[in-house]
Amino acid sequence: MKIAYFLMAVFLTTVINAQEIQIRGNVKDANGLELPGVNVIVKNTSNGAVTDFNGNYALNNVSVGSVVSFSYVGFTTQEITVGQNPVINIVMQEDSESLEQVIVIGYGTQTKKEITGAVSVVGAETIEELNPVRVEQALQGQVAGVNITSQSGAPGSSSTISIRGISTNGDSRPLILVDGNVIEDLSVLNPNDIESINVLKDATAGIYGVRAANGVILITTKSGVRNTDLKFEVDSYAGFQETTRRLPVLNATEYGVIINESFAAGGQTPPFPNFTLLGEGTNWQDEIFRTAAISNINLNVSGGGENSTYSGGASYLTQDGIVGGSDANFERFTGRLNYSLDFAKNFKFTTSGIFTQTNRETLLENTLGSVLFNALNMAPTLSVRDENGDFTLAEGLGNEVINPIAQIENTFNNTGVNRVGATFGLKYNFLNNFTAESRFQFNYSEVDGKVFSPEVFYGSGKVFNVDRSSVTEFKNFFRDFTWDNFLKYEKVFAEDHDVKVLLGMSVFKTTGTFTGSTGFDIIDNSYTNANISQASDVVNNFQNGGNTFDSRLLSYFTRLQYGYKGKYLLSAVIRRDGSTKFGPKNKFGYFPSASVGWVVSDESFLNDSNWLNFLKLRGSYGVIGNDRIGDFGFVSLLNGEGAYVIDDELLIGTAIGQLSNPEIKWEQQKTLDIGFDTRLWDNKIDITFDYFNKRTEDLLVVAPVSGVLGVAAPGSAPPIINAGIVENKGYEFLISYKDQFSDNFKFNISFNLTAIDNEVVSVNSENSFIAGGSFGVGQDPPSRMEAGKPIGYFYGLQTDGIFQNQSEVDAHATQANAAPGDLRYVDVNGDGEINSDDRTDIGNPIPDATMGLNIGFEYKNFDFTTYAFASVGNDIVRNYERNQPLVNRRNAFLDRWTGEGTTNSFPRVTTGANSNSLFSSFYVEDGSYLRIQNVQLGYTFSRDYMTPIGIDKFRIYVSVNNLYTFTEYQGYDPAASSGAPIGGGIDPGFYPVPRTYLLGVNLKF
């Protein structure tokens, strides 16, 4: 009987396993959009199907118990075991790391597996989590080798983007393309419109030629999907901002003590005999810092028909400043449209357009006499207003320090920008393997501005006093267009040889016109009447010309891409660029580049590996030209200003402008990159490594020349020359881990590291160095570009503690006005005298390494992400302290030298003559920091509740941007910099990037 039961069980199992059924279902993405073209196949068989335009599929002769695979480019492959239920509906999850992910490269696309260059991608999901106000904020910490330094935290302010270090003393901006269209200012773009950001970091960027010498950022905006209904997406957030730091300065009582002591040490009568009655006084930072509002609303629509796709959006952002509040507001409205149409069998038409309108109110910042500078230096014993209700005058505090609240009230500086950019493309496929494409792109911008300077008195001798009210109105026009035409040939020979050839040409032209006038004596000294039409003595600000520019490029290029069996890869490019920036002899340059790749994991000897899923080795080398200098530097132009006296009358005429150099030629960047990409253990671990060496030769720089040549006249300038070599070498490392531990829990973490060694190899100038930057008032430039040193390193006196007694002063090298308690400087050259010849290397503004750490998880309907960024090894110069007897000071002065043995690090205070204010290592601080850039917690409501009411996704979240910065730097923001290659890293009181708290919603229906 037991044998009979056993035989019956075997028979029933065989029947069940042999049962074949038809399965059917629907495939959608995570947002509820049906996915056409998904491959549905029974694993280990040839039985398969493809989803139709509505995402539906049907598959016959499928055995119960077999495994069905669902795969689609850009999505994680899913495998389902077939049961008795014939209906199998699938929700595909995006896989931004898929090897089949399509990545935009120069004039085309490649799958991630085929890429032979150093390319990084940031997707829409990351941008959505970060909620950046500006696009470049989404790159910091996300892409190895890309460093973003904020020039200011003020609303609407820009950032400096550097890819793999600072490689030139000139314009080091990367080329930025939005849907193929060149843009110079990322503030005009709404981050919510972006589908992906691709960063080309090595010689493969050479396909874009001259403008790609500093790397390329390719931005693709959102587009529609064919055969989908109209879909809506709403993203909105609102919140508030606050400063991350207030610098500890002296209160009124502490101030009285320090001032009294310094006056007494200088042999003067102390000004505060009853300092104990001064109390706390005015905290000027509390007076200027505000809690500022920020809000954004964004609407996107998308869809598509059988032969067309469309996508559009509109957004509005408003942001007040943490300094000045609504007096420093930034507004941005953007409108966007993408459309494509297959209007004939082999013809495709594409177009995209972006309109942006911005309006920005600004205050003086990041310089001597800025609002923050004044708040730090203003005496705490002074109130905001006097007993009459008028603003207090800052008497006795130096010529630059004024009442910052009065400064805000009397600042009227408004700039509005209207910009439209569009692209039009036509593609024609013929003879099976050929594609001809033409793209026309243009940008048009109008920049309107008004600056009103009312008659105002801030105190005796103040440089900001205005004796005669004035208004300046300007309107500038910028136009550019690019016309690309190229022919592609693509064919696979004998199943193994994949050949792609590109041949093209490109024309680029950019022009600008500046107009502006200044009028005086505004009626009632009122902003209401501040118009040129109501002013007297109106002066044309461009009466001598010099108000236009016109530059052009003509380029021809070709690229060969070859792949053998998908595992041996080659790409070679040569481009001929011609630029109007150079004279006839040097107008054209030839710039070749090549890259190779080997997909090692496709080799037979690794087929049986149970831990290695993918391994690709790659390398590239190329030369890219750079022409980013002013126009017509190779000829002399009469665009300077000359003053002439004729018949005892002063007349303003024209004179020679910038000195010419007919020999200037292309700056050349030679880039080597060697790296690998690998995936391990079921694709859970992803590792990328690159070594790079970027050598820039024939740097285009402004020559340091003697004033005897007369280059200080209005409109004149030293010539442009080719002078120097800069080398950046280092490595990038990225490792990430992701896993889905259960149906309810997913986790991911990634870490990237970039280490760069920057060195100036040579400087071909008269002094063998080029100086730049500024420190204090009237001192020599503190930064240099010099052979054997990093570009822009700090050059000053090296301190060696504090003189403790007169014997130490006497035994030391001669130091002017030195006394016990003063800084002791190192006699570098050993000549027994401290002077400018003893200046040396005292710091480097370039970080040794930058790092990013990104963590995220999803648990049921909750999601959490956090991003961190670190910069290590860079130095910052503290330059926000005014050397005047009565200005306020940092509370570090409480630890000053007061007698022998009290301290060996902080000098005495005195009004007497000394050399403590000379630029030295005393003012250089470690600028290393770790910043928690973003923390976000979200909740997505279940589709079971949302779908019946027509909603595909409803998510709410809270986030904090710029949560906290760990640093020993004493200034406002260690991440801020002017961005200047020579003179960067000098802090005049940088406007800090605010901490921002947001509450937001994502809605799709």
pLDDT > 90? residue 70: no
Q: What is the mean pLDDT of residues 827-834?
A: 94
Tokens of 163: 């890819």
**Cα gap 916→266, rounded to integer Å:** 14
Q: What is the pTM of this model?
A: 0.86
In the chain, the amino acid numbered 101 is Q
pLDDT bucket at 949, cuts 50 / 70 / 90 = confident
d(CA 973, CA 153): 9
What does the pLDDT read at residue 1? 46
Q: 316-320, 546-550, 577-581: which has the minimum mean pLDDT?
A: 546-550
**What is the mean predicted confidence (pLDDT) over 829-841?**
94
- Evaluate if residue 462 carries a pLDDT over 50: yes
Pairing verdict, β 216-221 and 175-178: parallel
The DSSP output letter for 650 is: E
DSSP notation for 723-761: --EEEEEEEEEEEEEEEEEETTEEEEEEEEEEEEEEEEE
Give CA–CA dist 994/974, Å, rounded.
13
Is the pLDDT reported for residue 75 higher than 90? no
**103 and 89, same domain (yes or no):** no
Domain boundary among 53, 77, 95: 95
Q: Which residues pair with 68 in a beta bridge?
A: 42, 80
Residues 73 and 109 in one domain: no
Look at 320 and 882; give whichever has higher pLDDT.
320
Least confident of 139-153, 376-390, 473-487: 139-153
Out of 181, 202, 234, a domain closes at: 234
On whether the CB atoms of residues 15 and 7 are closer than 8 A, the answer is no
Same structural domain for residues 88 and 40?
Answer: yes
Question: Binning pLDDT at 50, 70 and 90, where does residue 588 land?
Answer: very high
Residue 620 pLDDT:
94
* Residue 46 covered by a domain: yes
Q: What's residue 74's pLDDT?
A: 64
Query: pLDDT grade, residue 649 (50/70/90)?
Result: low
78 and 67 housed in the same domain? yes
* Nearest of 362, 349, 251 to residue 894 by alpha carbon: 251
Domain assignment present for 162? yes
Q: How far apart are the C-alpha atoms of 842 and 775, rounded to whole Å?
A: 14
Q: How does DSSP classify residue 365? A: -
184-208 pLDDT per residue, tens:
777 778 888 888 888 898 888 888 8
Report, as an integer, the average pLDDT of 228-240. Answer: 91
Residue 412 is assigned to a structural domain of this protein: no
* Residues 81 and 153 placed together within one structural domain of the fold: no
**Residue where a domain stops, chosen among 95, 110, 143:** 95
CATH number at residue 66: 2.60.40.1120
Residue 949 located in a structural domain: no
* Per-residue model confidence (pLDDT) at position 3: 47
pLDDT surpassing 60 at residue 782: yes
Determine the Cα–Cα distance for residues 374 and 401; give it in Å rounded to an integer: 5
pLDDT value of residue 190? 83
Which of 51-65, 72-86, 240-254, 716-730 comes out lowest in average pLDDT?
A: 72-86
Residue 103 and residue 230 in one domain: yes
Residue 149 domain flag: yes
C-alpha closest to that of 111 among 597, 484, 732 = 597
Q: Which helix (H) or strand (E) holds 419?
A: strand 412-430
Compute and round to an integer the Cα radius of gyration of the chain.
32
- Give the end-to-end CA distance of the chain in Å, rounded to a whole number: 62
Confidence (pLDDT) at 4: 47
Give the type of residue at 122. Answer: V
Q: pLDDT tens digits for 662-698?
A: 888 999 999 999 999 999 998 899 999 999 999 999 8
Contact 899, 907 (CB under 8 A): no
pLDDT at position 10: 41
CATH number for 197: 2.170.130.10
Q: Is 113 in the same domain as 216?
A: yes
In angstroms, the CA 814 to CA 266 distance is 21
Same domain, 134 and 222: yes
Using one digit for the tens of pLDDT, what is the confidence trace for 138-186?
888 888 888 888 888 899 888 888 898 888 887 788 888 888 888 877 7
pLDDT at 15: 40
CA 338 from centroid of its chain's CA atoms: 25
User: CA triplet 480, 486, 492: central angle to 5 degrees?
Assistant: 150
What span, in angstroms and rounded, lies between the C-alpha atoms of 16 and 4? 18
Q: Residue 929 falls within a domain, yes or no? A: no
Q: Which residues contact 792 (CB under 8 A, 6 or more apart)?
A: 166, 772, 773, 783, 784, 785, 845, 846, 980, 981, 982, 983, 984, 985
Same domain as 226, residue 129: yes
829: three-class secondary structure by DSSP:
coil
Cβ neighbours of 550 (radius 10 Å): 13
Q: Looking at the domain assignment, is residue 126 inside a domain? A: yes
Indicate the residue type of 547. N
Q: Report how many helices (DSSP H) and strands (DSSP E) the chain contains, helices first.
A: 8, 52
Position 491 in a domain: no
Please state, in angstroms and rounded to a whole number, the distance separating the CA atoms of residues 469 and 487. Answer: 60
pLDDT bracket for residue 716 (50, 70, 90): low
Res. 709: pLDDT tops 70: no
Q: Rounded to 10 degrees, what is the CA torsion of 42, 44, 48, 54?
A: 50
Q: Which residues of 168-179 are buried (b: 16+ CB within 10 A; e: fewer)?
A: bbbebbbbbbbb
Q: What is the mean pLDDT of residues 424-453?
A: 93
Question: What is the average pLDDT across 475-493?
Answer: 94
Both 140 and 182 in one domain: the answer is yes
- Give yes or no: residues 86 and 193 share one domain: no
By residue range, what is the domain housing residue 200? Answer: 98-234
Q: CB–CB of 731/693 below 8 Å?
A: no
What's the pLDDT score for residue 713?
Answer: 56
* Average pLDDT of the chain to the nearest whole number: 88
For the chain, what is the domain count?
A: 2
What is the share, in percent, of the chain residues with pLDDT greater than 70?
93
If asked whether residues 113 and 185 sit together in one domain, one would say yes
